[in-house]
Structure 1
Amino acid sequence: MGYLKDKKSWSDADIHELLEDLNVDESRIADDASWFDLDFANRFMDLVEAKLPNENIAFGAGQYIQKNAFSATIYHLMRGLISVSRLYQLLSTYTPYFTKASRMLVLKAGRNTALVESRPFSSELEKPYMCENRKGILSGLPQIFNLPMATIVETECFHRGADRCLYQIKWNEDRFPKFIYPVALLLLLGILGYRSGLSPTVATAVLICSICAYLVFYMYRANQAQRKELEIHNTVLESSVRDNEKKNRELELISQIAKLTHALATPDEMAKAVVQSVCELLQYDRSMLLTVDTNRSVLKVSSHFGFSPEHAQLMEEAEFNIRPDNTTGFFIKVVNSKLPVLIENVDEHIQKLSPRSQKFAKILGAKSFVAVPLFNQSHEVLGVLSVDYVRDDKRMSVSDQDLLVTLADHISIGVHNSRTLEELEHSLQVSREHSKAQQSLGRVFQKFVPTELATELCSTNDESMQGKLLEAVKKKSVAILFGDIVGFTALSQQMSPECVVELLNTCFSKIEPIITKHGGFIDKFTGDGFMAVFDTGRSCENAVMAGAETLIEIPKICESLKILNLPAIDFGFGLHYGEAILGNVGSERRLNFTVIGETVNLASRLESYTREVGPNNLCASAVVMKESGKLYEWRPLGAVNLKGFQDSIEIFQLLVPKISRADRVSEPLEQLGK
């Protein structure tokens, strides 16, 4: 409180507000015993740091306590009785009087250097501000002797992953060399001896020998002090080297995990690389990575390293039940509590396990181990990383646990990313297969319904929407192409039923791809004929091209029939373009898409009229001729009265396509057999 008033210029009102937040009075602050209540001390520091967020209050308070601890009178008294080095050496004795969270030990102390270690009793008790406060106290001790503050280098820190805090302390003592006082004393004794009756020669010799002996002794002590300082420096240097090597191994492990993530490694590849790197870089005996199967509420070993083949087979078959009601087992505790588990001696804790877990632990033979949870972005446990020692001379410590907790964040990101990547790849594969299925289904639909309707049906999974689409009726301009085998009735009477079916299938299997290629679909087969609908794009021109190419294909169809010992056939085609009604006709349980209207009737009558013109011909209406006249040549057949139509109909016969052979047709139309 004095530090806040003197150094931070807090007013009485500020102090009163702080006490109200703490719910205590000033007498509680003045009572030294209050600061042994760690909960109270933690709450006090949290409140002060919240009010002064950008300042190191704990460090400054530690320095302030030492500077104001002694009056000038006590300083002069202590100056003659104790040195700064001795004061640091007494820290080990008096540490329990001002902290319950850690034990402080002075490893070495020289004339103006010291090496001090602080080991926390528990990771739960030790807080970062306590470390800063210790540094403030240690740096402020020389102020008791009106000396400048000591400089502190923290070579190891519990809060950065080490198992202790190690402080290297240096200070300056500006005073006369110690040998001045004894030399002056010897001179005084020599003068007294001379005056007491000793001869000048003897007195001088004794004085010189005494001075030389003391100088030798003093140089020996100085050499010993320098040796101690060098030992402190060497200890600090070795500690720094070990700490740097450890940090380098940690960074190398993190780098390897990052490389695997960037290399788009699979979850199995990531798991194998992690357990191997953890053992090789951090020098543990064995390691394993377990993953959570949320569907089955079990924990399974994904990968392991350092185990014998017998142990490896056992772990691959092992599963751990992680339901909340299961409270036994080290790994289960990690998953359900979401906290790391440190077991320094497995033999002391094995009796707490279930019989099955005890058997498993005894077979594996771990002496000491640490297990830490791996979290996803939602802070849900996705796995457990475990390392162990099988040697009796090695034990896990809090620093190992903290190190793995730090690494677990990086490992979790790598494992999560690899899983996400695998899920994305699986989703993409499913999407590709679904897209292929949709396209295939669309192509199938297009054989039975208009292309537009097929596309809409395939683009939605909503059954109600699909029902509405199927029930919808449209009036649309379409081209209708009828085709029929000439003289099929008489021909079929001379053939067996099997041959009739084979003949029809052979013919239609050659014609249907041509219709589809030009954007049409066969609405229905009518025994020995078919009705094709063209409803997209330049439907009239597409229908004419399909009809022309089908006529050119007839000789090839006849060749295929000949190979099958089937008779040759002739076709007649009728084509008209105009408005028609498109829709599904039937009941709720079964629908049949159809096209009805005058356009359909006229196309059918035009196909029948080919019997008057001759086989293997295509007759079309004047509308078709006008729409496709630029591509084809037509021969007018005059106005003809057709059944079902009051007015006469202008009919045109398709002659020679003007498009190139490579584009649409394989032979000139005039080469068709007539």
Structure 2
Amino acid sequence: MTQDSPIYNSRIIKIYLEYLRKVYPDIDIDELLSYATMARYEVEDPAHWFNQVQVDRFYEILVLKSGNPNIAKDAGRYTASAEGLGPAKQYTMGFLSLTSIYLLMRKIYPLISRGATIKAKKLSSNKVEIVSTPNRDVDEKPYQCENRLGIFESLPKLFIEQFAQIEHPACFHKGDDACRYIITWEKSPSFIWKRLRNYAFLLNIVGPLALFFFLPLISWSIFTFGFVSLTLIVSFYSHFLEKKELRKTIHTQGDGAKRYLDEMNIRYNNALLVQEIGQATISILNVKKLINTIVGAMEKHLNFDRGVIMLPNKNKTHLVYAAGYGYSKEKEKLLRRTEFHLDKPNSEGFFAMAFHGQKPVFINDIAEVEKQISERSRQLAKQMGVHSLICVPIVYEKESLGILAVDNVDSKRPLTKSDENLLVGIVSQTAVSITNAISFQRVRESEERYRTILQSMEEGYYELDINGRFTFFNDSLCQILGYFRDELMGTDNQKYTDKKNAKIQFQAFNRVYTTGLPSKRFDWVIVRKDGSKRDVEASISLIKDSKGRKIGFRGIIRDITDRKREEKEKEMLLTRLQQAKKMEAIGTLA
């Protein structure tokens, strides 16, 4: 591990912050987090981990601001009362006995720290030994040992109202091989009364039998009745205490179960969202329809109150509203009217910052960054009621295509780093989809222009497969050959020429196929559907696939019948003119 390796879970810092709010409410938490290069949304995210440098800086500023050198242990002792542990606390309480919790600390501790390896051994019914050895390349500090000791002390508070007593005979930070803790705790009231009940039951059987031979029957009956009554009272009271402790545990577990269900629903909805977006990227090739589908899926499955996608205009000078959800009609109109400048390199708006910087912008509290953003952005945030925001750029191969922004207004749920990571995954798919849709649109436009040009040509354009069958042609070719489109598609040259010209045609195409060189012009005669013959000239070139393999031919065909007839007529006129000149010369000589 390195100094930058994620070792300590955010739950540890969250417990510190809960303790500060209770004991040191005047300390500025944002100042502490800023000094430690931590963010509130990272602390709120139970899936986030901090490195050694960050937690060291946090502890350094914490001791300075609180003036309490023992604050690490004090915060550790607060662990059992804190909500910051979340699922880890519920997992711990699931063992239902302190002995089980301590003995399974090797599995529980990694939920909050990867910095040490834990081993535990039972010494008696209410006493265990725990050995903590820092992992290789982890620079664990003494305050972290104190914090761990405080955590171990606090665990009995999950079940009883007392801390554990801990002996610390060996410490890694004092030169020993590992930190060794001998932990003893008071037995719960229900355990003590249960033990008394068991003894009472035993005496209730043995006592009356032994006294039966020494006491008068009336005295023995009174004694036996009293002893049975006392045993029942002890039994009922132990049962009452046991149920009371169990109710407390069940209540806590019930809250945890609700949180588990909420987390499961979030994960399920996230999976459905990814699936829907994946299907949209395959089937939808229209940018507007694609964006609306993605926004609809987000509204349906994500736990954000509002969301918006903004795309650049044609000139890429402004970001404009593309689609959104969760906004009132007035606020949506405001977004549609507002254009965010992209042509100002030093723009301080968070949308432009995310678009140009190609990095997510996470604003936990608008009030904290008011001085860093433009006046226009401050006014817009105020009008839109924005308090916190995640803005993620939609980027494909280093080109920004737009931004996706979300916030919470009604639910007040804090935004987390996991939310940002989820949105980054969404926009990566969205970027590919938008690029594919734009490319498809461009191809369609190109094909449309291509077809328009081909259909407006007087010459016939054709494409043949390698066997000489038509695969594509324009209307002019149909007019030249005298066939309808359906009659020509898939046919070869035998349909529109005679044997002599078919041979000429074959030789020309074979020469192009063999040499790979195009033929700019060759002439032959075609036979139209009505039996009439026409003179044509054609160009031929090879069609190759992406691997360079020959897969067909393409070219232009012109009807030169009229031109040939005119040439023949011109030739005949020239011949007659020459003959006339000869006759005139003979007459002159005569």
- TM-score interval w.r.t. the shorter chain? 0.3 to 0.5
Instruction: Considering Cα pairs closer than 8 Å and 6+ residues apart, tell me whether 1 or 2 has the greater RCO.
Output: 2
How high is the TM-score relative to the length of structure 1? Answer: 0.42
How high is the TM-score relative to the length of structure 2? Answer: 0.47
Larger Rg: 1
